[in-house]
Structure 1
Amino acid sequence: MIETGSLIRSLSGRRAARNFHTFVINEIGQAIVTGRFPIGSVLASDAVMMETYGVSRTVLREALKTLEAKGLVEARPKVGTRVSPRVRWNFFDPQVLAWHFEAPPDPGFYESLFRARERLEMPMVELAARYRNAEQVRLLKYWCHQMETAGDSVEQFGLACLEAHGVIADSAQDMLLRSVLGVVELTLALALTRDVAMSGPDYRARSVDLFVRLTAAIEASDVEATAALFAQCRLLDRGQVY
């Protein structure tokens, strides 16, 4: 399982420590999602992959089982391990989403990302305005301050923004809706590394302003204002990505 925030941390070139198992999962998974291992192709033999990645058969087999559980590959007797069609991929898996960061730009996929985020996160922020407590409001203000003081650190800004989304998710008291954080992290990472509609600093400044106002609306339990401000946040990120 990928740790929330791992993709944002990688933007500064800082990678989390990995064991052989996670290394192989990441190498093969990213190769599939980015198209280096095309859909329908059969992966190399165990012997070849063991030599390529420098791991034992046990480590390789466990990694392939993990990728199969994510829907990316399918093992077939006398055929080998074949890359599965995209319709079988688990796109809500945070690791599968993170691998898309390195994939070629795909406007259709980005549209799907923002559509899913809107439909899942909108009820989440509305619930947060109804059920938030004083501690959650304090945390939102803290993370807004961290965003404001991030300066040129994309990593600090991104992690603070992601933490704020996490507090909103916790305030909503709906564990299923919290699963949208993987989608949020990918769209945020894309927005932070694009320079399309505006400069990076301008994008971050506008994000902070919206989050401060969003926090105030949540604190006031103003559901209508919360929904309107969230819609603005979503449009800002969408405009930055494509």
Structure 2
Amino acid sequence: MIEAGSLIRSLSGRHAARNFHTFVINEIGRAIVGGEFPVGSVLASDAVMMETYGVSRTVLREAVKTLEAKGLVEACPKVGTRVSHKSRWNFFDSQVLAWHFYAPPDRRFYENLFEVRAALELPAVEGAARHRTAEHVRLMKYWLHQAATSGDSLEQFGLACLEVHSLIAESSQNTLLRAVVGVLELLLAVALTRRSDTVRAYCEATVAGLEKVILAIEAGKVDGARDALITCLDLDQKRILDGV
């Protein structure tokens, strides 16, 4: 697992200090999700990958074990490590989702993400309108203000919006609905890196939409919160799917 917000932070081009284990996981994971290592293909031998990534056998094997736990690869006796069929991939794993940011755009996959987001976040916003506390609302407004005053920093804007959505899920009092955060982060990263000439207008519309969501949550208006969130979903979906 990676920390929520890691993909958004990468938009600035700044990266954390290199950790060999994480580095190898990311390199192989991105290559699998991006199709460089196709489903059914066998990864190179340990010796080749150790030289390719400049790591020890121990680091490499630990990385492969992590990828196996995510469902991306499987050890095949007398064959080697094979890339698993997509049906075995853990798509709710935050790293697996994040790696799709670097893969070629796939309209059907994005459509699936929006279906999952709606299935999780609409019940979450309804729960938030019923169960929110004053502290939840205060924090939502704080992070919305951070988004609105982020200037040209897409990283700051994205992280602030992600916090708002995380608080919506948290205040629903249904911990399972927090599974939407990884999906949201990927969609937000894609939206923020599409069409740089219109990104500022998109950010402004997003802030306006989230403000309506928060005000409805604060007022305990379940239907109003749901309707306001649907407007936000439509905004994101149009931005991402147009032209894909």
Distance 1:120 1:180 in 2: 6
- CA drift of 1:54 comes to 1.1
Distance in 1 separating the partners of 2:16 and 2:153: 18
Matches of 1:180 and 1:174 in 2, distance apart? Answer: 12
1: CA distance between counterparts of 2:101 and 2:16?
16
Name the counterpart of 2:238.
Answer: 239
Which residue does 1:118 correspond to in 2?
A: 118
Partner residue, 1:67: 67
Match of 1:209?
A: 208
Q: Distance in 1 between matches of 2:76 and 2:57?
A: 17
8 Å CA contact 1:6–1:16 kept in 2: the answer is no
2:3 alignment partner in structure 1 = 3
How does 1:223-238 map onto structure 2 within 5 Å? 223-238=222-237
C-alpha RMSD over aligned residues? 1.0
Once residues 9 and 208 of structure 1 are traced to their aligned partners in structure 2, the CA distance between those partners, rounded to angstroms, is 19
Structure 2 Cα separation of the partners of residues 17 and 87 of structure 1:
33
Aligned position for 1:177: 177
Q: Distance in 2 between matches of 1:169 and 1:57?
A: 41
Q: How far is 1:129 from its partner?
A: 0.6
In the alignment, what sits opposite 1:37?
37
Superposed displacement of residue 16, structure 1: 2.3
Q: Percent identity?
A: 66
Unaligned runs of at least 5 residues, structure 1: none
1:85-164 matches, within 5 Å, as: 85-164=85-164
**Distance of 2:102 and 2:141 partners within structure 1:** 32
User: In the alignment, residue 200 of structure 2 is paired with which amino acid?
Assistant: P
- CA-CA distance at 1:17 after TM superposition: 2.7
Partner deviation per Cα, 1:174-227 (whole Å, 9 max, x = no partner): 11110110000000111111129x811110000000111111100000000000
Separation in 2 of the partners of 1:18 and 1:171?
35
CA distance in 1, matches of 2:130, 2:119: 18
Which residue identity is paired with 1:228? Answer: D
Alpha-carbon distance between aligned partners in 1 of 2:18 and 2:224, rounded to the nearest angstrom: 43
What TM-score results when the alignment is normalised by the length of structure 2?
Answer: 0.97
Q: 1:84 is matched with which residue?
A: 84
Matches of 1:160 and 1:86, distance apart in 2:
32
Which consecutive residues of structure 2, in runs of 5 or more, have no partner in the other structure? none
Point out the more displaced range, 223-232 or 173-182: 173-182
Q: Write the distance in 2 (CA, Å) between the matches of 1:199 and 1:234.
A: 17
Consecutive aligned runs of 4 or more in structure 1 exceeding 6 Å deviation: none
Paired with 2:181 and 2:20, the residues of 1 have a C-alpha distance of 26
